[in-house]
């Protein structure tokens, strides 16, 4: 954390600020704590997130968790992107605790990231822990790197998807998933 504080002090100086002025005295410490939180995914593992919350189940239809809010940081500009993930799977004898789906999303979102990779990482993680018949993940997000700088487009939303197993191979399953999303 001390290294991050020093780095934020240097950033303030590099942009022409005085880190000793009253309003900025504690900013390097606060910014370091914020970055520790925003990058907590680097210090988590899938095993510790899931924590044995995998249960036997006869369920055989789509399990969908919609509108999981996410906050991530663009790895190109270190600016936030904010949105929601929709995560579905078709069980093959096992289901995962509901909150674990959201925790998996958070673990990968709390890393420097691009949305395309985030979407795939979530899908791959569910395939790895559950070995389901299929996984479908759709992420919709607004990127501050496009909103605050560059092209400055306030209303653009990026949508990415990753379809694995039956979601990719079976058009009916894919259509049912998209219908459940209202797409």
* 141 CB neighbour count, 10 Å cutoff: 23
The pair of structure tokens assigned to 77 is 């500009």
Backbone angles phi, psi at 117, to 5 degrees: -70, -40
Q: Is 108 helix (H, G, I), strand (E, B) or coil?
A: helix
Q: What angle separates helix 27-38 from helix 2-14, to the nearest 10 degrees?
A: 120
Sign of CA dihedral 20, 21, 26, 30: negative
Catalytic residues: 74-77, 115, 143, 145
Q: Which residues contact 179 (CB under 8 A, 6 or more apart)?
A: none
For residue 122, the number of C-alpha atoms closer than 13 Å in the C-beta half-sphere is: 36
């Amino acid at each position: 954390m001390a290294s991050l504080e020093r780095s934020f002090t240097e950033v303030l100086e590099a942009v022409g600020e005085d880190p000793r002025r009253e309003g900025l005295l504690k900013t390097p410490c606060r910014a370091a704590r914020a970055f520790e939180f925003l990058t907590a995914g680097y210090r988590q593992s899938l095993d510790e997130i899931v924590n044995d919350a995998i249960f036997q189940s006869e369920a055989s239809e789509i399990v969908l968790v919609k509108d999981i809010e996410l906050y991530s940081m663009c790895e190109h500009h270190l600016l936030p992107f904010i949105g929601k993930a929709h995560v579905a799977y078709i069980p093959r004898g096992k289901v995962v605790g509901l909150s674990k789906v959201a925790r998996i999303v958070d673990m990968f979102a709390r890393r420097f990231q691009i949305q395309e990779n985030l979407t795939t990482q979530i899908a791959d993680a569910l395939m790895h822990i559950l070995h389901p018949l299929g996984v479908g993940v759709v992420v919709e997000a607004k990127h501050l790197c496009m909103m605050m700088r560059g092209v400055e487009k306030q209303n653009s939303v990026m949508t990415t998807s990753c379809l694995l197993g039956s979601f990719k191979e079976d058009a009916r399953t894919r259509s049912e998933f998209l219908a459940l999303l209202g797409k």
